Structure 1
C-alpha cells in the first residue's frame, strides 16, 4: 500500500514481534508511515538516517535499552524528536528517569491501542 510523502513517519523500536505487528497495523490504519527497528542500536541508526516525526521506544530490549537510546539522544542534543516510551515496568523511578531524559509520554504495557493512538495524534498534531 503506497503512502503519500506528507504522512507522518513513526519509528517503532521494539524487540517483540507481536507488539511491532499490532502497533504497525494500528498506526498504518491511521495513515502513519511506520519504520521498524528491533533493538536500540538499529533504532539509533534509523533515527539518524530517517529522522522520523515520532519515536515509539520500548524500554527493555537487547543490545541497547530504551534508556540507553534516550541517553544517547540527550547527549547528542536531540530535541527535535517526539518520543513515547512503552514498557511493562511498573516502577515510578523508571517513569521519572524517562521523563527527565525527555520522553513526551510514558505508556505502560498492556495498554489499550486507542490510548497509544491518542498520544501519537496529540504529539503529531
Structure 2
C-alpha cells in the first residue's frame, strides 16, 4: 500500500482528500503546518508528498518545504504535488501557477493542482507521480 503524506492547514481539505485516497487503497498521513514538516516527512517515508503553498505562519511555506525536502539525500527522489488555491486567493495578473510555471521555475515540484479540484484529476496526477520516482 502506497503512503501519501499531506501537509496542509485546512482540515476540511485534508479530511476530504484523505477519504478519497483511502477509498482508492492509499495509506494517508497528514501534518498541519510548516513547523517540523521535513522531520515528519523523513519519519513517515511517504511514497508521495502533497503540499499546500500558503500557511498562516508562512505564505510560501509549501515551496520552502519542497526546497528543504530536495536538500535531504533520502528525500531527493520523493514525488511532490503542490495543491493550492493561490490563483484564487491572489489574482496574480503577472503569473498564474500552473504545470508549465511549476516545470519551468520550481524544479523541486513534480506537479501542481489548483484548488478546488476534481477528485478524478487528483487521482490521475497521483497515479502518474507514483509511476515515476524522479523529479522533473
Same fold (TM over 0.5): yes
Match of 1:36 among 30, 35, 43: 30
Structure 1: unaligned runs, 5 residues or longer: 1-6
Number of aligned residue pairs: give it: 119
Match of 2:86 among 78, 86, 89: 89
Q: CA deviation at 1:84?
A: 0.4
**Separation of aligned partners in 1, 2:123 and 2:40:** 22
TM-score, normalization by structure 2:
0.78
Runs of 4+ in 1 over 4 A off after TM superposition: none
1:12 aligns with 2:6: yes
**Separation of aligned partners in 2, 1:55 and 1:115:** 16
1:123 aligns with 2:119: no
| 1:93–1:71 CA distance, 2 compared to 1 (3 A) | farther
Q: CA deviation at 1:50?
A: 1.1
Instruction: Please say which of residues 38-47 and 101-110 is displaced more in the overlay.
Output: 38-47
CA RMSD of aligned residues (A): 2.0
TM-score, normalization by structure 1:
0.84
| 1:12–1:51 CA distance, 2 compared to 1 (3 A) | same
Structure 2: unaligned runs, 5 residues or longer: 132-136
Partner of 1:70: 66
Write the mapping of 1:51-62 to structure 2, written as runs, cut at 5 A: 51-62=45-56
**Separation of aligned partners in 2, 1:107 and 1:31:** 21
Deviation string, structure 1 residues 28-57 (Cα, Å, up to 9, x no partner): 001000011001224312111111000010
**Separation of aligned partners in 2, 1:109 and 1:85:** 10
Q: CA deviation at 1:102?
A: 1.9
Q: CA deviation at 1:122?
A: 1.4
